Chain A
């Protein structure tokens, strides 16, 4: 072909000549044939046909994911923003595209930049679903030693890692949660701009969060100048911060670099969530303990650290939460508190009183109810609790009632997590997980979740449910919330469930709402303040109610403004 450089491999000439002179050693005819057949099986016979699927017999991507991979390959030439809504499997799309370019021999050196909390999960998914030997970056030498490296952007941008990353020519760069690069003045943005790359995928569910400029910045990272200069972009397409004009034309331009599928597009079926509150009546002794602890916590909290007990507010809040979970959890904290107070302190006596109350209790209404529930469900169940003491107790309690269970904690090593997941899938009926156990495991084979205690941070509730309610879950997901009547737990559940319809929200929606609430503190801290500062149950209920209204209001406005805002982004 004219003007197309041809490199002809003739490294074989010398070895062959040598063998001819020595008359050997010669290889076997059969292996010669096999080598040819292998080459034929691997050859890419067509420019425009997805090759990766024949290498992934165990993967069954959804049609929209295949469509995305094809469009990126054929129309976008390997540089694209993947902006599907949350939960539609952007990781699968990115993995498919990555595999495709690897199979074609067009990408070898690949960098995946993700938030630190997702590094392990990405590495694992690339291994398990795509057979890609990705490594999580830990040591400096790994940048060079390994072809596919998954790292957090915050590590990568820091010296000495930065100099390695900026020195390597990456065949492919993938960035997850790319909306974090919306501001072009940040280090992260500038760092990513400096990375040399051939193909590039930016993954985000929210290409525009607040302003049109964010989208411009993202696209400029991918293809500088695609939308012209920022001033030209503004005058051509931007009406107000959140309003676009010449939408048709803009959409055309954006379509060239961005793919966005929405749940509402159809074709993607999510099973529904069925939420159920399970009210639990405490026995008189349990009720007494709860009230005793609550009173104690309030007093000490208001006395402050300078008070008689000198407890910091954190351990008091913990105690308050624990007593809602189980008496075992509360006992451990009380024990530690007792150890820490001076021997002659009057507080010590109060603590001992509470401990005595614990000793008097011989029922465990919540655990009994749980057993009853599990027996009724008669299927795999995941129980979430915040506390290890509760977890241990529950495991024993379930065992005593003939129910097999395995524990799961965030502190487990990866291999142990996998082992426990495996045991749960194949041997045990129940998985008892503490909070941190959430990330990085997929438990779609289970569709029953029991929230044994309620986290005060709604995001954590969402994460819990997200473990089972995701793409790949084939059944409706049942969520059972245990709520002890007349406790804080009941109020929290009331707020999360009744007031803000947390469980009915689409995955990811809460994220945005909380971001827009622009609270000075996190939602959780606000809850703590309300609970601790309220002098009466009534006051607390009222304040929580107000909070619920605020969230609702934001959600309403969001639903209204959203169409206008994302008009440009959506196709």
Chain B
């Protein structure tokens, strides 16, 4: 994204929230943020939640100045340089994704309908935009814009760029009616999945083969190394194993003790343990309570207080008596090998993720070009990863 595009993007974003532009200068832009924008990019969740909790009808709008040229910042104004990598820009991106997720639009074909005064049918389409990520130790994304005809089931690619050429409106125009959906959205999703599989089948697979080859090569080195290690230093392996076993026995004993303690505590009618007590000693896995089922934002939106959230989800400080600097156990060569193998698989193993960007229902009078349904192999790549803007 060039700076010119960044500016246009931000202007369009602000305009779609009817933001009040205080000043528009060639080098910068001063804007009063509307509430929805403030929530997404204002970075003041505490103020916002306070306003909401106290039911304050008005709020102090945030006024920001975005500069688009790093060397030409406006004087006397606190401006921030906005570019693709700026944190604020990423927030704006996230905001568009949040507010531009689901659509329902109708094609408004001028002329024909009103002239003939006869009703015209509109065909229901499901349009979904997907990001297909090819992952190994590297990554490549393919953006797919699929359209599925829900009346007369078929799939077309590059559907969204076709949509961009049509006059669309959020309400059904007069003298139009919609045809019924003969398949459900879930069925359409299945068709989309097949289409994605087809696209992937046509993709060059060298990346995955290479990644697998690298993985095998590294695994072979590892295998040989640990075999040699076991051969040359059997005693160290055993020693470690014995040590480990001893420590295991010790920890087992400790475990029993703590079990007894707990029983005692229960008997004495004490309340349940504080979360901190539940942190098991090494090498047991981490305490479960650190898993956070929801983010603080979600929690707050559901009406909870921030402090309660922190209390419930925060990581307690390990009490002093549980801190033990002596406790130290090295992995055995076997554990080490296993860990390393896991790391390698994690790093190299090829996998594919398909993410939903946005989508919606489109009722169209025009039909997308059928040719794009089955493009030739050579054309597929450019189509699949082509840009729509």
Interface residues of A (CB under 8 A from B): 1, 4-13, 15-17, 19-20, 23-24, 26-48, 54-58, 73, 77-79, 104-106, 131, 133, 139-141, 143-145, 158-160, 162-164, 166-169, 187, 190, 193-194, 196-199, 223-226, 228-229, 231-232
Partner of B225, one of A7, A29, A225: A225
How many angstroms from the CA of A468 to the CA of B101 in the assembled complex? 51
Which has the most chain A C-beta neighbours within 10 Å: B15, B81, B225, B346? B225
User: In chain A, what residue has the closest Cβ to B92?
Assistant: A38
* Residues of chain B with a CB closer than 8 A to A6's CB: 196-197, 200, 351-354
Residue of B nearest to A76 (CB): B137
Q: A residues within 8 A CB of B70?
A: 57-58
A32–B358 CB distance below 8 A: yes
Cβ distance B374 to chain A, nearest Cβ, rounded Å: 19
Q: Which of A27, A37, A38, A104 contacts B103 (CB 8 A)?
A: A27
The answer to whether B143 touches A133 (Cβ under 8 A) is: no
Type the 1/0 row for B28-58, where 1 means its CB is closer than 8 Å to any CB of A: 0000000000000000000000000000000
Q: Could you tell me the distance in whole angstroms from the C-beta of B251 to the nearest C-beta in chain A?
A: 13
**CB contact under 8 A between A1 and B208, given known A27-B103, A38-B96:** yes
- Contacts of B356 on A, CB cut-off 8 Å? 9-12
B105, B286, B347, B388: which contacts A167 (Cβ < 8 A)? B286
Interface-forming stretch among B255-263, B298-306, B318-326?
A: B318-326
A43-B331 contact given A13-B186, A224-B222, CB 8 Å threshold: no
With a cutoff of 8 Å between Cβ atoms, the chain B residues found around residue A31 in the complex are 13, 16, 96, 99-100
Contacts of B104 in A (CB 8 A): 19-20, 23-24, 26
**Chain A nearest CB, measured from B329 CB (Å):** 9
Most buried by B among A36, A169, A226, A228: A36
Query: Are the CB atoms of B354 and A39 closer together than 8 Å?
Result: no
Specify the chain A residue showing the minimal Cβ separation from B97: A35
Given A131-B86, A224-B225, A232-B228, the answer on whether A26 and B102 have CB atoms closer than 8 Å is yes
A13's partner among B185, B285, B324, B331 (CB-CB below 8 A) is B185
Shortest distance from the beta carbon of B192 to any chain A beta carbon, whole Å: 9
Closest chain-A Cβ to B258's Cβ sits at a distance in Å of: 16
The 10 closest A-B pairs by CB, nearest first: A225-B225, A55-B85, A31-B100, A35-B100, A160-B318, A141-B315, A38-B93, A32-B100, A167-B286, A43-B141
The answer on a CB contact under 8 Å between A190 and B330 is yes
Given A34-B13, A43-B143, A194-B331: A9 in contact with B186 (beta carbons within 8 A): no
Judged by a CB distance under 8 angstroms, whether B377 is at the interface is no
- Complex Cα–Cα for A8 and B131 (A): 10
A-B contact sample (5 more), CB < 8 A, given A15-B101, A224-B336, A228-B225 = A1-B208, A40-B387, A73-B138, A159-B282, A231-B232
Known A8-B196, A40-B389, A226-B221; contact A104-B101, beta-carbon cutoff 8 A: no
Cα distance, A57 to B205, chains bound together (Å): 34
Decide if A41 touches B315 in the complex (CB within 8 Å).
no
| B358 contact set on A, CB distance < 8 A | 27, 32, 35-36
Min CB distance B44 to A, Å, is 17
**CB neighbours of A162 from chain B (8 A):** 282
Contact B1 A54 (CB under 8 A): yes
Q: Is the CB of B9 within 8 A of A34?
A: yes
Is B133 positioned at the interface, with any CB of A under 8 Å from its CB?
yes
Docked Cα-Cα span, A31 to B197, in Å, equals 29
Query: Cα distance A134–B324 when bound, in Å?
Result: 28
- Specify the chain B residue showing the minimal Cβ separation from A34: B96
Neighbouring A residues of B149 by C-beta, 8 Å: none
17 contacts between A and B (CB under 8 A): A13-B186, A16-B360, A26-B102, A32-B358, A35-B358, A36-B388, A36-B389, A38-B93, A39-B357, A41-B93, A44-B141, A106-B137, A131-B87, A141-B314, A196-B339, A198-B347, A225-B226
Are the CB atoms of A225 and B100 closer together than 8 Å?
Answer: no
In the complex formed, the residue of B with least CB distance to A30 is: B16
* B152: interface (CB < 8 Å): no
Closest to A79 in B: B347
In the bound complex, do residue A26 and residue B360 qualify as a contact, i.e. CB atoms below 8 Å apart? yes
With A144-B290, A145-B315, A196-B343: A41-B96 Cβ-Cβ less than 8 Å: no
Report the separation of the CA atoms of residues A226 and B210 in the bound assembly, to the nearest whole angstrom. Answer: 19
Residue B21, interface by CB 8 Å: no
Q: Taking the nearest CB of chain A, how far is it from the CB of B8, in angstroms? A: 10
Chain B residues whose CB sits within 8 angstroms of the CB of A56 once the complex forms: 85
Known: A44-B141, A55-B84, A224-B336. A9 touches B101 (CB 8 A): no
Complex CA gap A139/B315 in Å reads 10
* Distance of A234 from chain B, by nearest CB (Å): 12
Closest B residue to A229 using CB positions: B228
Q: Which residues of A contact B207 (CB under 8 A)?
A: 47
Contact call B16/A106, Cβ cutoff below 8 A: no
**A9–B193 alpha-carbon span in the complex (Å):** 10
**Most B C-beta atoms less than 10 A away, residue of A4, A139, A145, A162:** A4
Interface residue from A54, A169, A231 paired with B84 (Cβ < 8 Å): A54
Contact with A along B190-202 (1 / 0, CB 8 A): 0001001100110
Q: Which residue of A lies closest to B203 (CB)?
A: A1
Contact of B343 among A9, A198, A226, A228 (CB under 8 A): A198
Q: How far, in angstroms, from A197 to B343 measured CA to CA in the complex?
A: 7
A35 vs B358: C-alpha distance when bound (angstroms): 8
CB proximity of A332 to chain B, nearest CB, Å: 41
Which residues of chain B come closer than 8 Å to A37, judged between CB atoms?
A: 9, 389
Question: Is A198 a contact partner of B87 (Cβ separation < 8 A)?
Answer: no
Bound together, the chains give a CA A59 to CA B7 distance in angstroms of: 20
Q: Which residues of B contact A38 (CB under 8 A)?
A: 9, 92-93, 96-97
Task: Return A169 CB to nearest CB of chain B, in Å.
Answer: 8
Interface assignment of B110: CB less than 8 Å from any CB of chain A: no
| Cα-based distance from A17 to B5 in the complex (angstroms) | 34
Q: Are B9 and A39 in contact (CB under 8 A)?
A: no
* Docked-complex contact B99 and A28, CB < 8 angstroms: yes
